[in-house]
Structure 1
Amino acid sequence: MGRKHLEEITLLRGLAIIGVVAIHSHPPPLSLGFLGLNKLYIEELSKFSVPLFIFISGLVLTFRYTGETIVYTDFLKRRFEKILIPYLAWSGIYLLYRYLYKSETFSLFAIAKKFLIGSAYFHLYYVFLILQFYLLFPLFLRLIQRFKNRKTALLSIAAALNLIFIAFYESTLLIPERLPRRIFIFWIFYFILGAVIGGDLKNNKRSAADKISYKLLIPLFAASLIYLLAPAGLPLGSKLDVFWLMKKTFFYAALFILLSYKLASESNFPTHNIALKPITSLGKYSLGIYLAHLIILEPLSTIILNRNLLFILTLSIAWFFTKTVSNLPYGHLLVGKINNSDT
């Protein structure tokens, strides 16, 4: 019998939401002076965030449903209730925000399209993306079970497939970046990696992360950092500077995920650990923070020029807002149900 709870997942969610808000608080610089490089490095180093969220989804879903009979309609209902209703609510809020705050107007067709593909505001693409993984999850679970004795081969295939699509995107100017970031195939390795580890945990086996020693993982992670940051001096406006689905980001994010998961799971971090309590609390409310943070960040950015202070205030206010709303009757319809470690 495997573990019943995954306390480390709340901690990882906290790291992921910190990364998301850090990216949006430190936009790409207009010049590469000292401050410009600082912003660029913060943005680059935070690009583990969305891959980590996808990894967590794969891990948690597979941990939850391995060995269980999935009733597809019940599964979708449970997943959609968790994320779809808050997504629809915030899509409406952001469209109203764009109308009132930015004086933007849209036709009924454009509004319907924005609700459908997650473009009411730019960060909402993630919901459209993760819903694809939900829809296909029974197929992914069957794939994991079929490759249960060939997990290295499965991970290698997923990584190769991911890199092929990333390389194709990098090599062409014909695909706008808003398209691939919404398609699950460009993120598939992170989900498969999480699913493989989640299945092992459910079956009480050593996970892929457990099998990699720190002596190997730390040098590889250090190398990925060099690879990630060395091209930071590319001309501004380069395609490589405006989109994070890149080979350098892939290696960095994958190794960051393995290292952070290994540290969190092997160190027996309890969610009530005093030193980690702020991060785990952010993880607990991460969905609401993700949905709400930009409507807080953008108005604040007009009066707060210090980007580090902007980051701290945005994260704090979004956390307080989400926590407060979650305690109200029907508050989960706006900020989602509070994250548990194993659901």
Structure 2
Amino acid sequence: TKTLWKTYYARRVTYILVPYIVWALIYEFYSYYVGATELNAADIVKRILRGESYYQLHFIFLIVQVYLVLPVFVWLAQKVTIFKKYMWLFGIIIQLGYLMLNNTYHITSFNLFLNTMATFLLGGWIGIYYREQVDKKYSRSNIVLFLVTLGAGIAISLLNYHLYTMKTIQISGFTYEAVNTLYLVAGSYFFFRIAEILAEKLSVKSVTIVKNIAMYSFGFYLIHPMVLNFVAKAVPIQGNYMFHIEILARYILTLAGCYLIIWGCHRLLPFASFLFGKLPKEAVFIYRRPDHK
């Protein structure tokens, strides 16, 4: 209904676009501070509109595009049975078809939402058939999904290594994207099932802790590059046996730093949702016992 769509878009503007604009401006000034960009109003507006104020913000640009075309896919799911039933497959076909055409004819360099249709429609398909998918979490097909994910993951890792690190091979962009799409779709579906198994097996406390951390996921997405930059200065990377330990230390410190900043803002600032997206009314640190008053 019109009312439902109006409410839907109003919430997205409030809890996604507003935090995005706030952090895009923060990153613009941060980039200027470190000498990466100049404070040119026209360039700043252009970067914000294209999701280019910092490397991770392009995803918001894609999300906004998806929101604009979402009614089309909702209508298709309601009216076209085969599309609803095989939405994940249509996503793969649309994405790879677009990539093939763009790779051949160079249609656009624009960061278009069609680049992400495989995982987007996979998520929609899981949402529609969620109960049925949960019932399949112990299916033997998990073995196949694991092998496909492992194989595609190894392949895309080797391609990255030889293409970008060693520069020893050359392949078409479409071939690379086809392998990457297979990895993302198979891997996402496989780990969805694993997550459902873990949610069933883990204690209520463990699941609650995961949920309390996950509620800040959008905030992590927005703030982590800045926190990581400061952590990187404190934990330099050396090209020796300490490399992996230092990477792990950076990861843990960045994760903890992001969580503490977001939780602190959530606890102390009444407008924290305008910084980090929709948040619950009360800020709970990691875990609170059910009998806690």
Question: Please, what TM-score do these two structures have when normalized by structure 2?
Answer: 0.77
1:272–1:318 CA distance, 2 compared to 1 (3 A): farther
Partner of 2:78: 145
Partner of 2:191: 260
Shift of 1:143: 1.2
Partner of 1:319: 259
Q: Which residue among 258, 275, 285 is the counterpart of 1:334?
A: 275
Partner of 1:183: 112
Rounded Cα–Cα distance in structure 2 between residues aligned with 1:271 and 1:102: 47
Rounded Cα–Cα distance in structure 2 between residues aligned with 1:93 and 1:170: 35
Higher helix share: 2
Which residues of 2 match residues 2-13 of structure 1 at below 5 A?
A: none
Q: Which residue among 139, 159, 162 is the counterpart of 1:214?
A: 139
Partner of 1:120: 53
Shift of 1:103: 5.2
1:206–1:77 CA distance, 2 compared to 1 (3 A): same
Q: Does 1:289 find its partner at 2:217? A: no
**In structure 2, what residue type is equivalent to 1:200?**
Y
1:270–1:236 CA distance, 2 compared to 1 (3 A): same
Partner of 2:129: 200
Q: Does 1:224 find its partner at 2:155? A: no
Rounded Cα–Cα distance in structure 2 between residues aligned with 1:74 and 1:271: 36
Q: Which residue among 232, 245, 251 is the counterpart of 1:301?
A: 232
Shift of 1:211: 5.2
Question: Which string of whole-angstrom CA distances, capped at 9 and with x for unpartnered residues, describes residues 80-128 of structure 1?
Answer: 1111111011011001101112352042210111121111111101111
Partner of 1:102: 35
Rounded Cα–Cα distance in structure 2 between residues aligned with 1:318 and 1:112: 27
**In structure 2, what residue type is equivalent to 1:218?**
I
Q: Which residue among 14, 22, 29 is the counterpart of 1:89?
A: 22
**In structure 2, what residue type is equivalent to 1:125?**
H
Contact preservation (8 Å) 2:213, 2:259: yes
**In structure 2, what residue type is equivalent to 1:223?**
V
Q: Does 1:163 find its partner at 2:88? A: no
Contact preservation (8 Å) 1:325, 1:335: no
Shift of 1:321: 0.7
Shift of 1:130: 0.8
Unaligned 5+ runs, structure 1: 1-67
Contact preservation (8 Å) 1:133, 1:184: yes
Shift of 1:243: 11
Q: Does 1:280 find its partner at 2:214? A: no
Shift of 1:333: 1.1
1:297–1:326 CA distance, 2 compared to 1 (3 A): same
Rounded Cα–Cα distance in structure 2 between residues aligned with 1:129 and 1:120: 14
Rounded Cα–Cα distance in structure 2 between residues aligned with 1:270 and 1:92: 43
Partner of 1:74: 7
**SS across alignment from 2:56:** helix
1:324–1:269 CA distance, 2 compared to 1 (3 A): farther
**Rg larger in 1 or in 2?**
2
Contact preservation (8 Å) 1:283, 1:339: no
After alignment, is 263-272 or 315-324 more displaced?
263-272
Rounded Cα–Cα distance in structure 1 between residues aligned with 2:81 and 2:32: 51
Rounded Cα–Cα distance in structure 2 between residues aligned with 1:212 and 1:147: 27
Contact preservation (8 Å) 1:285, 1:339: no
Shift of 1:171: 6.3
Shift of 1:157: 2.4
Shift of 1:249: 2.0
